[in-house]
Copies of this chain bind each other. A is one copy, B any other.
Amino acid sequence: MFRDSRMTRPKPETPEMTEPLAKRFPAPSLDQMPDDIRTRILAVQEKSGFVPNVFLTLAYRPDEFRAFFAYHDALMEKDGGLSKAEREMIVVATSAANQCHYCVIAHGAILRIRAKNPLIADQIAVNYRKADITPRQRAMLDFAMKVSRNAEAISEADFGEISSYGFSDDDIWDIAAIAAFFALSNRIANVTAMRPNDEFYLMGRLPK
């Protein structure tokens, strides 16, 4: 997925964490995890060269881990409609508004890679209104931000506005659902003080 060859390291038996997790909610060790969760974590490590801390934090609660990643993958790994980079733009913009350390930095890295653009994540995190995006993407983020911050006031006018940029109803569901899912994710990460792995900060910033 978001593997960066500069990051490759020997893969140890136990997941490698760049920083200790919050002690309040300790991650179980690999051999204490249910099989399906251990398998997923090892697969991510194999692919990325490290285990993003979100996997370890949520392993504290196996049922929630499974539901979380099932929901995540349904929204973020989906083909068609929004591009994968656009999906990550929504994550970065709304997570920045929610001041979520883990999500801005980890998904910022994924956005840089998926958009093949080393500047875009920082631009969107600071002020998406000034980012180098298309008017259509700007409309997408305006809608996502309203879902994230003022969903109670979403109106027919908002649907009309975003539809005018050519987004289908299915696209609009995706935009809203991603903003909603990261409303959950940002809160979990903020409460658990989930720490982004050091590897994320530099990913996607250098030419391959």
Contacts and interface: CB of A to CB of B under 8 A. Distances in A.
A75 interface: yes
Interface in A97-131: 98-101, 104-105, 108, 118-119, 122-123, 125-127, 129-130
Contact of A125 (B98, B125, B130, B193): B125
A74 B98 contact: no
Interface string A170-196: 000100110111011111101111010
Given A129-B153, A181-B184, A201 B64 contact: no
A84 interface: no
State which size class the interface on A falls in. 35 or more
A42 to B, nearest CB: 22
Interface of A: 24-25, 60-61, 63-64, 66-68, 70-71, 74-75, 96, 98-101, 104-105, 108, 118-119, 122-123, 125-127, 129-130, 147-148, 151-155, 159, 169, 173, 176-177, 179-181, 183-188, 190-193, 195, 198, 201-202, 205-206
The 9 A-B residue pairs whose C-beta atoms are closest, nearest first, are A99-B152, A67-B71, A180-B187, A63-B74, A184-B184, A151-B190, A67-B70, A99-B127, A183-B183
Given A63-B74, A206-B206, 13 more contacts: A66-B70, A67-B70, A68-B71, A98-B152, A99-B126, A119-B201, A127-B152, A129-B153, A147-B191, A151-B190, A176-B187, A176-B188, A184-B184
